[in-house]
Amino acid sequence: MEVSYHGHAVVQVAAHNKKIIIDPFITGNELTDLTADSVEADVIILTHGHNDHVGDTVEIAKKNNALVIAPYELAVYIGKNGIDIHPMNIGGAYDFNFGRVKLTQAFHGSSYQEPDGTVIYTGMPSGVLLTSEGKTIYHAGDTALFTDMKMIGERNSIDLAFLPIGDNLTMGPEDAKDAALWLNARKVVPIHYDTFPAIKQDPEKFAQSLPEGIGLPLKVGEKYEL
């Protein structure tokens, strides 16, 4: 399995000859190295409905005929665009042809703001456990620290965790450090920082706060092989 980080919470995964992208916020994301029209994806996974995570989902899905996997209400909302969807809900898992996806809880909000300012409720926010090729990654989505991360770590052998560190809107570096320890992940990649002034953080400092060898502050566009 090959993963790469592309700014904010955008993560790409290549597994079983499938291209997967998580939370494709590209247009309007000044930190990303991607462009929406150049992304190739067989599958799009969304953690929640905020605009800076749904991002370019509709455009990418239509261009690539991609499957969108998302929490139920968000999937139904996205599906109105004539897109192939697979709705899920927290605690549920499903075996796809590229691997197994399970949604975990996340403590955050979830709504989509349309161009005219209308706010659409998009269900509960989630994290994602993706298991493929004998490896498991955990994308926490946007979340606060919560003690059930201990259970997630106990019940899953997590090879790589993507954790928000931005603070203000999600957990900050101190809470993310606790999350990393509770999850017992072999490697931890900080995400959801620096995109906006309110979430400026130092990913290197965060990585150094973790036990030696665990922190993996990927640069934008950098790949990691599991």
170: which DSSP letter?
Answer: S
- What pLDDT was estimated at residue 18? 98
Return d(Cα 34, Cα 25) in angstroms, integer. 10
Q: How many residues does the structure list for the chain?
A: 226
Q: Give all domains of the chain, ordered by start, each with its CATH number.
A: 2-218 (3.60.15.10)
Return d(Cα 87, Cα 60) in angstroms, integer. 18
Tokens matching residue 61: 């899905």
Q: Residue 93's beta-bridge partner residues?
A: 102
pLDDT in tens, the chain (226 residues): 999 999 999 999 999 999 999 999 999 999 999 999 999 999 999 999 999 999 999 999 999 999 999 999 999 999 999 999 999 999 999 999 999 999 999 999 999 999 999 999 999 999 999 999 999 999 999 999 999 999 999 999 999 999 999 999 999 999 999 999 999 999 999 999 999 999 999 999 999 999 999 999 999 999 999 9
